[in-house]
């Protein structure tokens, strides 16, 4: 038997399933699959998640660009050429300073401090007690304080229940006054009583009579105290015929008959008054305290016209003389006043540095104001400008720094005209307030308005284009 042909045999290439043309997954079929996958990826990249990834990448790129730019700029600042380094190290060019020549009054002044106070100072102390029944002299009331203005009749202190008041008068009290006393101190008391509104009647000036007694009693009543009294001698007030019974009151007193007791006499004790030369008066200091023993230096008063006292060192004293003009500047109110130096003398106490003596010996300058100072300035600390020297009218003046001495020993100033300079020899005069008087030597030219060199200063480097 012969073998069958390949075409007749079962399972040939044409008849077998799964040939290249019939199998799934061939090249044509796979291309369709790839296209489908690409479509899916493209759709996914265009969705929300894809946009976020794209933005993140763009941000990273921008930051990297900025870092590169900053690094380049920093390198440019740090890296300089040798020429630039040399230019930076070189000094800047100088600028010439000038000031104009002026016509002005030049005054040499000394500035110091001073305190305004009254011209008369009075220290108040306790005197002997007028009431003999009081066994102890003690401060029982203080009626004033430092800086207070006081008037005539005002009670300053109370000592053991009795007043210590102030009246106007130049003569200090030195004795107790009583009826029958005579003298200038009595006349002063009578005048002070009348000016306080308590007339002394018909008593002659300087005689302590009944009218003065009545005025004293009236004054004490006005300040709230009883007037001090003393017993009159038995012969002071006899019974007159008019006081006796009988027809017409003319029966003479019988021999040895007792007389009626005399009324007490009003007195004026020196321990209860302080006289000051004039009013207004002010309290400078109060050292008394309630309960203290009443002794000396209870308080101090100032009265009279206001004056100013300043202080200078021994070196400054040489610039100050009586008669010099003084400018008084009250800084709290901003007001200006003028005066004259009245005297220059050694200070009563050494200068102090804080609370401790400084060891320096200062001098007191007393200034008399040209016009009365306002009462409100009493006790104020003021600035004093003492004019030590002054030119007679306006003179040619330049700043002190403009005057110099050249190599040939001549004193002069340098005038700058545009970019050129010329030297002008001068003689100098009064100096003060930072200026000096100059007079050009014969043949030299210097006028008000000329610009003179006073110095040089570094000028900032020229800006670049």
d(CA 300, CA 286): 7
**Residue 268 DSSP SS3:** strand
d(CA 438, CA 208): 73
Residues 147 and 219 both lie in one domain: yes
Residue 206 lies in a domain: yes
| Domain boundary residue, one of 367, 390, 413 | 390
Residues 348 and 451 both lie in one domain: no
- pLDDT (tens digit, 9 = 90+) per residue, 425-441? 999 888 877 899 999 99
The residue-averaged pLDDT of 248-276 equals 76
What's residue 462's pLDDT?
Answer: 44
Residue 256 lies in a domain: no
Residues 151 and 283 both lie in one domain: yes
Residue 344 lies in a domain: yes
Residue 10 lies in a domain: no
Of 30-34, 106-110, 205-209, 233-237, least confident by mean pLDDT is 30-34
| Domain boundary residue, one of 373, 390, 407 | 390
DSSP lists the bridge partners of residue 230 as 265
Q: 365 to each of 112, 288, 308, 383, how far by Cα in Å?
A: 10, 30, 8, 13
Residues 346 and 406 both lie in one domain: no
Which residue is associated with the tokens 């901003």? Answer: 334
Residues 277 and 344 both lie in one domain: no
- pLDDT (tens digit, 9 = 90+) per residue, 116-142? 988 888 899 887 776 667 778 899 999
| Domain boundary residue, one of 364, 390, 416 | 390
Of 9-18, 112-121, 329-338, least confident by mean pLDDT is 9-18
CA angle 380–284–158, rounded 5-degree value: 150
Residues 360 and 449 both lie in one domain: no
- pLDDT (tens digit, 9 = 90+) per residue, 166-177? 999 999 999 999
Residue 133 lies in a domain: yes
Residues 217 and 288 both lie in one domain: yes
Residue 223 lies in a domain: yes
What's residue 339's pLDDT?
Answer: 96
What's residue 335's pLDDT?
Answer: 93
The CB-based long-range contact list for 56-59 (8 Å cut-off, 24+ gap) reads none
Phi, psi of 38 (to 5 degrees): -60, -40
> Does residue 228 surpass a pLDDT of 80?
yes
Residues 450 and 334 both lie in one domain: no
**Would you give the distance in Å from CA 94 to the centre of its chain?**
41
CA atoms within 13 A on the CB side of 150: 32
What's residue 460's pLDDT?
Answer: 54
Residues 432 and 372 both lie in one domain: no
Pairing mode, strands 335-346 and 229-230: unpaired
User: Do the Cβ atoms of 426 and 440 come closer than 8 Å?
Assistant: yes
Arithmetic mean of pLDDT over the chain = 80
Residues 335 and 446 both lie in one domain: no
What's residue 47's pLDDT?
Answer: 55
The residue-averaged pLDDT of 139-147 equals 92
Residues 430 and 384 both lie in one domain: no
pLDDT-derived band of residue 77, with 50, 70 and 90 as boundaries? low
370: domain CATH number?
2.40.30.170
What's residue 461's pLDDT?
Answer: 45
How many domains does the chain contain in total?
4
The residue-averaged pLDDT of 209-219 equals 96
Residue 253 lies in a domain: no
Domain span holding position 407: 96-104+392-458
Residues 375 and 419 both lie in one domain: no
Pairing mode, strands 273-276 and 162-168: parallel
- pLDDT (tens digit, 9 = 90+) per residue, 26-59? 445 544 544 555 454 444 555 556 666 667 777 7
Residues of the chain above pLDDT 90, percent: 43
């Amino acid at each position: 038997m012969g073998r069958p042909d390949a075409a007749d045999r079962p399972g040939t290439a044409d008849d077998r399933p799964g040939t290249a043309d019939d199998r799934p997954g061939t090249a044509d079929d796979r291309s369709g699959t790839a296209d489908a996958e690409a479509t899916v990826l493209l759709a996914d990249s265009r969705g929300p998640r894809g946009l976020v990834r794209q933005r993140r990448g763009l941000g990273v790129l921008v930051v990297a660009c900025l870092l590169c730019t900053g690094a380049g700029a920093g390198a440019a600042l740090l890296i300089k050429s040798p020429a630039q380094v040399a230019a930076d190290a070189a000094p800047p060019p100088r600028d010439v300073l000038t000031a104009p020549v002026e016509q002005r009054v030049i005054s040499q002044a000394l500035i110091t401090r001073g305190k305004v106070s009254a011209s008369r100072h009075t220290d108040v102390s306790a005197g002997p007690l007028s009431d003999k029944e009081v066994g102890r002299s003690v401060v029982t009331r203080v009626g004033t304080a430092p800086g207070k203005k006081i008037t005539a009749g005002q009670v300053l202190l109370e000592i053991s229940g009795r007043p210590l008041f102030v009246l106007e008068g130049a003569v200090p009290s030195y004795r107790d006054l009583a009826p029958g006393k005579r003298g200038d101190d009595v006349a002063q008391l009578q005048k002070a009583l009348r000016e306080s509104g308590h007339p002394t009647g018909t008593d002659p000036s300087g005689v302590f009579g009944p009218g003065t007694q009545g005025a004293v009693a009236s004054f004490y009543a006005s300040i709230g105290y009883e007037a001090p009294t003393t017993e009159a001698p038995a012969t002071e007030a006899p019974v007159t015929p008019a006081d006796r019974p009988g027809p017409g009151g003319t029966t003479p007193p019988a021999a040895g008959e007792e007389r009626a007791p005399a009324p007490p006499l009003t007195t004026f004790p020196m321990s209860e008054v302080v006289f000051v030369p004039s009013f207004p008066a002010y309290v400078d200091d109060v050292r008394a305290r309630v309960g203290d023993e009443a002794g000396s230096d209870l308080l101090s008063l100032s009265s009279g016209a206001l004056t100013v006292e300043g202080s200078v060192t021994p070196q400054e004293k040489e610039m100050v003389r009586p008669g010099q003009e003084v400018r008084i500047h009250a800084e709290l109110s901003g007001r200006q006043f003028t005066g004259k130096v009245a005297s220059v003398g050694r200070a009563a106490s050494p200068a102090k540095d804080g609370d401790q003596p400084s060891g320096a010996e200062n001098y007191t300058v007393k200034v008399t104001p040209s016009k009365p100072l306002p009462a409100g300035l009493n006790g104020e600390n003021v600035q004093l400008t003492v004019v030590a020297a002054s030119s007679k009218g306006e003179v040619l003046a330049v700043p002190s720094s403009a005057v110099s001495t050249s190599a040939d020993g001549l004193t002069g100033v340098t005038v700058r005209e545009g970019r050129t300079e010329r030297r002008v020899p001068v003689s100098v005069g009064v100096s003060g307030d930072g200026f000096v008087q100059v007079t050009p030597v014969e043949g030299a030219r210097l006028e008000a308005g000329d610009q003179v060199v006073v110095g040089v200063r570094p000028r900032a480097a020229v800006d670049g284009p």
